Amino acid sequence: MRFNVVALMAASAIVVAACGGGESKTESAPSAGAAAPEAAAPATGATASGAPITGKTIEVQMLGDAKGYRFEPSQITAKAGDGIKFIVVGPGGPHNVAFDPAKIPAGAAAQINANLGPDKMADLSSTLKTAPGEFILLSLGGFPAGEYDFNCTPHLAMGMKGVLKIEP
């Protein structure tokens, strides 16, 4: 028993050292998800990636609660140039926004990746956000008209998905 406690303490010390040690990073600019929701780019401004938002900004809540995991609203109609602010609400994270490559208009993948900017984690996918108030600000600038299926990768099996329709 005593050996198990000592081994557990040693393993914990290694994990803490690995997570907290090392060189410190200098940040050139705060990430979009680190700021308070009020600090989001204005509707006529630009996202952290520099893609312009020239129209309205639509807020979409990312939720995980007793009603299930979901985006509210899950059906979005917008125009190229609008923006979407995906906001973590309450517990239930981590959440992200990922687009299904088989269910987006031809030629849209490069624009999605470019507009995700520093929030891009993988192809057609944003970083994970965990804390209430964190958000992903996505410009729809340059998006071709059509339908875009999106989801939350960690909660896709639980039905956390939506559809974005870009009107011409």
Domain ranges of the chain: 35-167
* 138 closest CA partner among 96, 94, 75, 103: 96
Mean pLDDT on 121-125: 97
Dihedral sign from CA coordinates of 72, 57, 41, 154: positive
Q: Write down the CATH number for the domain with range 35-167.
A: 2.60.40.420
Could you tell me the pTM of the whole model?
0.71
User: Could you tell me the two tokens for 138?
Assistant: 């996505």
Looking at per-residue confidence, does 52 or 139 come out higher?
Answer: 139
Give yes or no for a contact between 32 and 42, defined as CB atoms under 8 angstroms apart: no
Give Cα separations from 80 to 21, 42, 125, 151 (angstroms): 44, 16, 19, 20
Query: What value does the mean pLDDT of the chain take?
Result: 79
pLDDT at 137: 95
